[in-house]
Amino acid sequence: RKRQRYVEKDGKCNVQHGNVRETYRYLTDIFTTLVDLKWRFSLLIFILAYALTWLFFGLIWWVIAYSRGDLEHLGDHTWTPCVNNLNGFVSAFLFSIETETTIGYGHRVITDTCPEGIVLLLLQAILGSMVNAFMVGCMFVKISQPNKRAETLVFSSHAVVSLRDDRLCLMFRVGDLRDSHIVEASIRAKLIQSKQTQEGEFIPLDQTDLSVGFETGDDRLFLVSPLIISHEIDERSPFWDVSRGQLERDDFEIVVILEGMVEATGMTCQARSSYLADEVLWG
């Protein structure tokens, strides 16, 4: 039978969150929620945020002009309107865009005889700056995410169990395809396997650390050329009592995680991969 993966070879986690009742918690951290959205939804929200803001304030500018009677005195040079050359909703919408984006073409301009318009102008300038800071910041963080950098960190398709210096070791290989390096790179490995405790409790996805040199500092990598990562199978290893035949029958997964800072941007990057039992080759 085909075994299900906890983590795909490209690092994506096959975990779906179901029965989440406190969905309001996503809205309390709206910035992270927007950053985590797919690009098509992020762009849609980005466009709607500006379009709805322009339409909302454009409608208010039109209401002010309509309530003051400016639209009834078009062409009357003796009448001082709230906004010069505002003759309908379309021109109010364009004035709203000019105000919020600080374009200022000069054809439409607010006069000093309209206190409500001055208050609205200040309010739109402040709220417009907040919308710009929020949406542009969100787009910048989304663009600069180091997820794509992790795609150039490559793991071997298989892991092997063989002798190294007369010691049985579990080994896999990792390499970096780019010329710019990963700074302060470190690696760790997790064994994910079902487990039953002595009290009879069944743990479906128990995580156990596999030592890849934490005690000796070998888990800190200078990833200039491809490196072989080794886990020594000794008395402390969960594979100590596992034979070759049992290794082929067991249902487990080894998740490997490489972390470090991108030299070009200084942002933290994480690359993941995994090995199922049939992807661990003996000898």
Q: What is the 3-state secondary structure (H, E, C) of the chain?
A: CCCCCCECCCCCECCCCCCCCCCHHHHHCHHHHHHHCCHHHHHHHHHHHHHHHHHHHHHHHHHHHHHHCHHHHCCCCCCCCCECCCCCHHHHHHHHHHHHCCCCCCCCCECCCCHHHHHHHHHHHHHHHHHHHHHHHHHHHHHCCCHHHHCCEEECCCEEEEEECCEEEEEEEEEECCCCCEEEEEEEEEEEEEEECCCCCEEEEEEEEECCCCCCCCCEECCCCCEEEEEECCCCCCCCCCCHHHHHHCCEEEEEEEEEEECCCCCEEEEEEEEEHHHEEEC
The pLDDT, as a whole number, for residue 145 is 78
> 36 falls in which pLDDT band (50, 70, 90)?
confident
Average of pLDDT values for 207-221? 90
Contact 269, 146 (CB under 8 A): yes
Average of pLDDT values for 102-117? 87
Average of pLDDT values for 81-104? 90
User: Residue 16 pLDDT more than 90?
Assistant: no
User: Residue 3 pLDDT more than 80?
Assistant: no
* Claim: this prediction has a pTM higher than 0.85: no
CATH superfamily of the domain spanning 148-282: G protein-activated inward rectifier potassium channel 1 (2.60.40.1400)
Beta-carbon neighbour count of residue 74 at 10 Å?
12
> 66 falls in which pLDDT band (50, 70, 90)?
very high
User: Residue 22 pLDDT more than 80?
Assistant: no
The pLDDT, as a whole number, for residue 214 is 87
The pLDDT, as a whole number, for residue 2 is 64
- State pLDDT tens for residues 229-269: 999 999 999 988 888 888 878 888 999 999 999 887 788 89
Contact 185, 170 (CB under 8 A): no
Average of pLDDT values for 47-69? 94
In terms of average pLDDT, the best of 50-59, 75-84, 146-155, 190-199 is: 50-59
Average of pLDDT values for 89-113? 89
- State pLDDT tens for residues 137-196: 888 888 877 778 888 899 999 999 999 998 999 999 999 998 888 999 999 999 998 888
CATH of domain 23-144: 1.10.287.70
**Residue ranges covered by each domain of the chain:** 23-144, 148-282
The pLDDT, as a whole number, for residue 28 is 79
The pLDDT, as a whole number, for residue 260 is 92
Average of pLDDT values for 22-50? 85
The pLDDT, as a whole number, for residue 1 is 55
Average of pLDDT values for 79-107? 89
